[in-house]
Chains A and B, each alone.
Chain A
């Protein structure tokens, strides 16, 4: 006992207790509910075990898998575009010698808006009747209004535009921090050796930056579900499920239909998606670090 009390376990206990209460227990409870027909309005259903029925239904539910696929596509496109735009902004700001702080602050403005406000704002911009976009296009002779939030492709592009506007600055800030930490010597040496700007970027700046890229990707892939509010405000997953993502589907199933057992089963399947993205980015992060230390 004394050995235990003097050992590392004692020091770990507070963390373990907090993690158990805050993370593990809610996770176990939600996992349990996914094996029940739990309805919010019928608390007794929490104690009715139905085995894998919710999961079996989901396996045969085409709507769920379409939403799943669309979410993967949304994540892949949005995160990559945010990375490209964020990298571009970070590189440009890194070049500036005067007013950099002001620009860095300005760049963070979109992050300060709550996703609900971003959703409202972009819903208005893309409104087919009174929206800024259609009125702007009308000035250039596009008389017939474009149904931005109705057409299957355009609606997804519109939502992605809102999400990218809202979150690109996260990438930009993290990558700018990486750029500021890159040692100058190798870059100067490369320039002395006759490398052009592209060669310097490709062979020195980018390898140094890659760990930051994957850290940013990991953070954003976990955080991107915040886009739920944007989607909910702009289209609610519709029309006709054309913009349905896992988040809108799960939220409607859980809170509007009150079928929390089914919603949690959906969540546990979609957790694999998050784990897959996170695992991939961590793997790439470790790889990038190893390459950097090797070089």
Chain B
């Protein structure tokens, strides 16, 4: 199948310096004269990887990488959809995401037929499962995302806060275990417009995803097994009411419905937010005194539980895919491996991102222990547990993004008081039914 690829098992000690990782299956080859055209997700958080891995791969294989596009994921998504429509798939490798992958039909090749089983064995099996669409492994996972709750530690250590909270709510002020406690504490800490208890991403897929995970945590679901919407339920109303209550109590900033990920991350770093549910990738930024006013004062707990006794855990993985039309699949496979290799994942893990290889979890935790970096150690241990026990993906269906576009304006309407939660969810449910009917689910 891959004549020029040779597999070698070596110890990856040379990549990591200060620790030993388990043996990794490498996928090198001689690709002199081959140029791979690639479309990548851009942005500060993502580009460090390319700066290191691309020269490394080029040096070891003799091949060349031509970056055709580098833009944020939503823009990249639009571009790839246009490429599909025009039949202009003249690139080999593209960034992808488990939430997006199922939209792209069969433009990406089945990596089960290309990647040796020994390479695939280095990744977490569940994440590979999430990277599979209709039985075809179309993505090599780069890093995984799940959110946990960052908070300002000093607020919880303050004696007055403890006493006042206990007097008002009847239980001790400790980092929250449930979303109801988050609500109580957010309202307690808020002093608008100078300080807010928490915040949430307020539009597009972001708020739809947050709503989704809270519905699950409350014991509900978005769809039944035939993909008929069932979120207009007590669990759904309860989830939506949580957003409404915080907004009405001014425990979140007024402009929160225009917030996306950067807004919430920068908001917490500005020191004006008590608690922030966010991704692992922000941890290093939050604890960097040059960027953050809360550096050195950050606690982190697993995402709290809903009324159903489950923790929220909306999760997904950034990934890379290879087009079916790629003329140099061997070289592209080698590059996909390099982008998600031990070396690559260690680079991203040092920035706080969650690896998709079990060996890198062990390696990064060992490294942080050796460095005595208690904060990052806490971050990795919390996210490791969260990914293992709490994480769940959104429905991996092509209609996910379209569905979220139908849902989020209704959530916003309820939060702003334009509609009751029941009315908003009924309207969203009707639109979702239409989408699923059109897609042929029932």
Chain A residues proximal to chain B, CB less than 8 Å: 37, 40-43, 127-129, 143-145, 147, 149-150, 235-236, 238-242, 252, 255-260
Give chain B's interface secondary structure class. helix
User: Is the C-beta of B316 less than 8 angstroms from some C-beta in chain A?
Assistant: no
What is the interface residue range for chain B against chain A?
35 or more
A sample of 19 cross-chain residue pairs with beta-carbon separation below 8 angstroms, ordered by A number, consists of: A40-B81, A40-B82, A41-B85, A41-B398, A144-B192, A147-B254, A147-B255, A149-B255, A150-B255, A239-B257, A239-B258, A239-B409, A239-B416, A240-B410, A240-B412, A255-B81, A255-B82, A256-B405, A257-B402
* Contact residues, B102-148 vs A (CB, 8 A): 103-105
Known: A41-B104, A41-B105, A252-B405. A260 touches B85 (CB 8 A): yes
User: Is the C-beta of B401 less than 8 angstroms from some C-beta in chain A?
Assistant: yes
Question: Is the CB–CB distance between A150 and B81 below 8 Å?
Answer: no
For residue B254, which residues in chain A have a CB less than 8 angstroms away from its CB? 128-129, 145, 147, 150
Chain B 381-421 near chain A by CB (<8 Å), digits 1 or 0: 00000000000000000100110010011101101101000
**Distance, CA A129 to CA B402, complexed state (A):** 31
User: Is the C-beta of B204 less than 8 angstroms from some C-beta in chain A?
Assistant: yes
For residue B74, which residues in chain A have a CB less than 8 angstroms away from its CB? 256
Question: Is the CB–CB distance between B255 and A128 below 8 Å?
Answer: yes
For residue B257, which residues in chain A have a CB less than 8 angstroms away from its CB? 150, 238-240
**Distance, CA A236 to CA B258, complexed state (A):** 8
For residue B267, which residues in chain A have a CB less than 8 angstroms away from its CB? 129
Question: Is the CB–CB distance between A238 and B409 below 8 Å?
Answer: yes
User: Is the C-beta of B203 less than 8 angstroms from some C-beta in chain A?
Assistant: yes
- Choose one: B105, B204, B253, B410; the contact of A129 (CB below 8 Å): B253
Distance (Å) between the CB of A31 and the closest chain B CB? 16
**Distance, CA A235 to CA B260, complexed state (A):** 11
- Choose one: A37, A41, A143, A240; the contact of B409 (CB below 8 Å): A240
**Distance, CA A239 to CA B247, complexed state (A):** 13
Interface centre among B78, B81, B203 (most CB of A within 10 A): B81
Chain B residues proximal to chain A, CB less than 8 Å: 74, 77-78, 81-82, 84-85, 87, 103-105, 192-193, 202-204, 253-255, 257-258, 267, 272, 398, 401-402, 405, 408-410, 412-413, 415-416, 418, 438
- Choose one: A37, A236, A257; the contact of B401 (CB below 8 Å): A257
Distance (Å) between the CB of B439 and the closest chain A CB? 10
For residue B77, which residues in chain A have a CB less than 8 angstroms away from its CB? 256
For residue B193, which residues in chain A have a CB less than 8 angstroms away from its CB? 129, 143-145
**Distance, CA A260 to CA B81, complexed state (A):** 11
Question: Is the CB–CB distance between B85 and A129 below 8 Å?
Answer: no
Other 6 A-B pairs with CB < 8 A, given A42-B105, A239-B409, A241-B409: A129-B193, A144-B193, A236-B204, A240-B415, A252-B405, A259-B402
Question: Is the CB–CB distance between A149 and B405 below 8 Å?
Answer: no
**Distance, CA A66 to CA B418, complexed state (A):** 15
Distance (Å) between the CB of B25 and the closest chain A CB? 33
Question: Is the CB–CB distance between B255 and A129 below 8 Å?
Answer: yes
- Choose one: B78, B104, B258, B438; the contact of A256 (CB below 8 Å): B78
| Chain B residue at minimal CB-CB distance from A126 | B255
**Distance, CA A242 to CA B253, complexed state (A):** 18
Question: Is the CB–CB distance between A240 and B104 below 8 Å?
Answer: no
| Chain A residue at minimal CB-CB distance from B266 | A130
**Distance, CA A211 to CA B250, complexed state (A):** 52
Question: Is the CB–CB distance between B253 and A258 below 8 Å?
Answer: no
For residue A150, which residues in chain B have a CB less than 8 angstroms away from its CB? 254-255, 257-258, 416
For residue B412, which residues in chain A have a CB less than 8 angstroms away from its CB? 238-241
**Distance, CA A236 to CA B85, complexed state (A):** 24
| Chain A residue at minimal CB-CB distance from B260 | A236
